[in-house]
Amino acid sequence: MAMTTPATRPANPRFSSGPCAKPPVFDLTKLASAPLGRSHRAAPGKAKLLEAIETTRDVLGVPDDYKIGIVPASDTGAYEMAMWTMLGERPVEMVAWESFGAGWVTDAVKQLKIDHTVHTAEYGEIVDMSALNYDNDVCFTWNGTTSGVRMPNGDMIPGDRKGLTLCDATSAAFAMDLPWDKLDVTTFSWQKVLGGEAAHGMLILSPRAVERLESYTPAWPLPKIFRLTKGGKLIDGIFKGETINTPSMLCVEDYLVALDWAKSVGGLKGLIARADANAGAVADFVAAHDWIDFLALDPATRSNTSVCLKFSDDRIADGPAFAKAVAKRLADENVALDVGAYRDAPAGLRIWCGGTVETSDIDAMLPWLAWAFDTEIEAQMASA
C-alpha cells in the first residue's frame, strides 16, 4: 500500500548543518556592492572588514576589550591558530563528546604532543565540565555539531581560572548565549548559523588570551598563516581588518548581508528565539512519535541548531541502512536535503534548526519525515 504524501512541501528544503541555509532574504543581487577587483587593503575593503568585525561584536555582545579577527581557513583555521599559538605554556585538558572535539584532541595529543589529560563522552552524552582542572588550559566545543549535544551554560567554568578556555563555537555562535567572561578564545565560521560562506574564520580573544600571546612563544615553528604576534606584541591590525592574507571580499559582503538580516530579526535574542522555535517544533514531533528520539540523552544539553535524531523501532533490521534510506527519500522528494547523520556519528538524522531556517519549513518538512519513515518500514517489510 503506497503511503499518501503530505499535501505541502517546505518552501526551502535546505536543512544542512553546514554550509547552512542562507538568510531567507538572501539573493545574489544583495552582493552587488562588494568591492571586487580592488585591493582589500584599499579604503573600501578595509572599511568592509572592520564593519564585519564591529557588527559581529555588536550582534554577539562581545565585550569592548576583546579582540575580534577575521582569519583564513574557516573555523578550523581559527581554532588551530589558537591551539598552535597559545597551548604548551601549561598542561591542557582536552574535552570531546563528538567528532569535532575529537579532532582537536588529536591535534594536541598527536601533533603538538603537549602534556594533556583527555576527557571524552559517548555520542549523546556530555563531559562533566565541573571535573576539569581549570589551572590548565581547556579546549572544548560548545555545541557538538555531530551529536547535537551542547553546553547548557558556562556555570561550571570558574571566573578565576588560571588556564585559558579555548571554545570552538562554530555551530553555537548566533544561536546560543555565550558567556564571554568564561571564554578566552572563541572561534566560529561564517558558513554555519548565519548561513554565510566558508573560507573565513572568526577568532575572538579575551585580554588574558592576548596576554598569553604576548608572553609565551611556543617551542614549535609557526607558519605565517598562524602568526598573531610580531616581536612579542600582538599584531593589532589583524583585529582591525588588516587580514594576514587576502580574504574574499565577496564572502565578506555576504557575511555583512547576513549580519544585517540578523539585526533585522532582533539580533542575538531574535536569532536564539528562531532557533528555539525550530528545535521546539522538532521536539514536539519527537514527543508525538515513539519511533524517533533525540541522540542527546539529557534535555538540558539538546542543541537548538544541529538537532540529531535516532530511530528507535524494533522493526528496523539495519539501523544505518534504514537511516540512509529515509534521508534519501526526503532528498529525492526535495523536502529535506543533507539531513543524514554525520559520517562518524551514530546512524540517524540531523536537522539544522539555526535561525536562517524558517519554522514554517520545519513544520512542512516533519510530516514528510513521518511519510518517509512509514514508507521505508513498509518497503523493508515487503522485502523481508
Ligand X SMILES: Cc1ncc(COP(=O)(O)O)c(C=O)c1O
Site residues (vs ligand X, CB under 6 A): 18, 74-76, 100, 141, 145, 168, 170-171, 189, 191, 198
Are the C-beta atoms of 144 and 124 separated by less than 8 Å?
Answer: no
DSSP 146-186: TTTEE-S-STTS-TT-SS-EEEE-TTTTTTS---GGG-SEE
Give whichever of 3 and 250 is closer to ligand X, judged by the CB atom. 250
Give whichever of 56 and 76 is closer to ligand X, judged by the CB atom. 76
CA pair distance 71, 187, nearest whole angstrom: 10
Q: Please, what is the minimum distance in Å from the beta carbon of residue 127 to ligand X?
A: 15
Q: Please, what is the minimum distance in Å from the beta carbon of residue 76 to ligand X?
A: 3
Place of cell 567528532: 99
Q: Please, what is the minimum distance in Å from the beta carbon of residue 171 to ligand X?
A: 5
Give whichever of 76 and 136 is closer to ligand X, judged by the CB atom. 76
Backbone angle region of 353, left / alpha / beta, with phi > 0 → left and psi within -120 to 50 → alpha: alpha
How far is the CA of 195 from the CAs of 19, 26, 238, 317, in angstroms? 7, 10, 24, 37
CA pair distance 267, 290, nearest whole angstrom: 36
Are the C-beta atoms of 277 and 359 separated by less than 8 Å?
Answer: yes
Q: Please, what is the minimum distance in Å from the beta carbon of residue 94 to ligand X?
A: 14
Q: Is 140 exposed, middle or buried (0-12, 13-18, 19+ CB in 10 A)?
A: buried
Q: Please, what is the minimum distance in Å from the beta carbon of residue 16 to ligand X?
A: 10
Give whichever of 303 and 377 is closer to ligand X, judged by the CB atom. 303
Give, to the nearest 10 degrees, the angle between helix 319-332 and helix 359-383: 130
Give whichever of 171 and 301 is closer to ligand X, judged by the CB atom. 171
Q: Which helix (H) or strand (E) holds 192?
A: none
Give whichever of 74 and 234 is closer to ligand X, judged by the CB atom. 74
Q: Please, what is the minimum distance in Å from the beta carbon of residue 152 to ligand X?
A: 17
